[in-house]
Amino acid sequence: MKSFKNKLVVITGAASGIGLALARAFAAEGAKLILCDNHPKNLENTASELQDSLIKSYCFDVGREESFLAIAKEVDSLYGGADLMINNAGVALGKMSAEETSTEEFKWLMDVNFWGMVYGSKFFLPQLKAKQEAALVNLSSLFGLIGTKYQSAYCASKFGIRGFTEALMAENQDSKLQIHLVHPGGINTNISLNARGGDPSYNKIFHDKFLTKNSPEKAARVILKGIKSNKKRIKIGSEAEAGDLAARIFPVSLINFVQKHFHKDLD
C-alpha cells in the first residue's frame, strides 16, 4: 500500500497517544477517518480537530463484543468497509506482582488489550479482505517480546497480541491483505500515568524513566512507513530493536538481565 489518499482508516484508542498521532498522520496523507475511543471528551476534541477528514466517531469500550460487532457492520454497510484497521487501544495496571493482581483487574486489562484486538481483527477481516489492497495493524509492545516483573497481565496481553497476529499472518499468506505487528518501545504517552492501581508515584517514575524515549509522532511516522513498505514486524525505538534481538539470542538469560537493569532505581 503506497498511498493512503481516500483510504478509510479505522483507529481504536484514537483520542490520545499513538492513536491520536496516527489519526493526524493519516489525515495529513489524505485518508478518511473513523475514530474510536472510550473517553468522550477527548474523542470529541479529536473529532473536532480532524473534522475535514472525519467520516464518523464512535465512543465505546473495545472490550464489549456486541458494540464492536455492530460498529464493524455499520462501517461495512454505510461506508463501504475499512481499508485499514488499526487496533491500538490499550490500558495498563500499576506496579503489582502476579499474586497481587486480582482476577478482576486481570480480566479488565485483557478485555481491552487482548479481546479488543481480537474483536477488531475478526470483525473487520471480511471487509478488509474484500478490498484490492488493505491492511490490518495490531499494536503489541516491547513487553510482547520480553517479560518483566510487576506487569504479568500487561505482558500476557501483549504476548497474546503477538501470537494471534503471527497466526493470522500464517493463515493469510496467500491473501492480498497486509498484516502488521507493531512493537513500540518507550513512547511518551499517558498509559503509565493513567494506570489502574498500584503506587501513583511509581507510575510517574516509570513514565519518566522509560516512556519518554520516543514521541507518539515518531511512532506514527514509523508505522505509516512500515505499512507503505509492507513490513510485517514494525519495531519502534532502539529498545524495541534491542529487545527483539536479545529475545531471539538470549531468551533465558534475558530475564535476569531485564530485571537487573530495567528495574534499577524502580524497585
Q: Which residues are catalytic?
A: 154
Cα dihedral across residues 156, 159, 165, 168: positive or negative: negative
Cα–Cα distance between 5 and 8 in angstroms, integer? Answer: 9
The CB density around residue 261, as the number of other CB atoms within 10 Å, is: 8
Supply the DSSP string of 62-74, one letter for each residue.
TT-HHHHHHHHHH
Count how many residues are written for the chain: 267
Helix (H/G/I), strand (E/B), else coil: 139:
strand
The cell numbers describing 158, all together, are: 501483549
The kind and range of the H/E element at 118 are helix 116-129
Cα–Cα distance between 72 and 129 in angstroms, integer? Answer: 14
Q: Are 128 and 81 in contact (CB under 8 A)?
A: yes
The cell numbers describing 149, all together, are: 516483573
Could you tell me if residue 42 is left (phi over 0), alpha (psi between -120 and 50 degrees) or otherwise beta? alpha
